Amino acid sequence: MNNGKIDSDTAARRVWLYLRARPGELVSSWELAQETQTVAVSTRVAEVRRELRRLGLPEEIETIQRGHKFFYRLKKIENE
């Protein structure tokens, strides 16, 4: 089973690729759900975060809450 993997055809991969195509851009959870045809966006984001660490990729997903709305953006991790 490949649930949550970003190196195979999963909802987590679709979320990652969508955010990756928009580096630094805030994307609402609604937009992510609609554009990636997925549900449980926060779960998909958590899966992507886990995969980024597992694969050692220099990226992270930032979450910003404005009122009751959540926004996400993919950022490169700068080496110190």
pLDDT of residue 1: 52
Which of 25, 1, 42 has its CA nearest to residue 15?
42
How far is it, in rounded angstroms, from Cα 66 to Cα 3? 29
pLDDT of residue 80: 55
pLDDT of residue 61: 97
DSSP 39: S
pLDDT of residue 2: 64
The pTM of the whole model exceeds 0.85: yes
Mean pLDDT, each 10-residue run in order, the chain (80 residues): 83 97 96 96 96 95 97 87
Which of 3, 21, 23, 19 has its CA nearest to residue 11?
3
Residue 70 phi/psi, 5-degree rounding, is: -115, 140
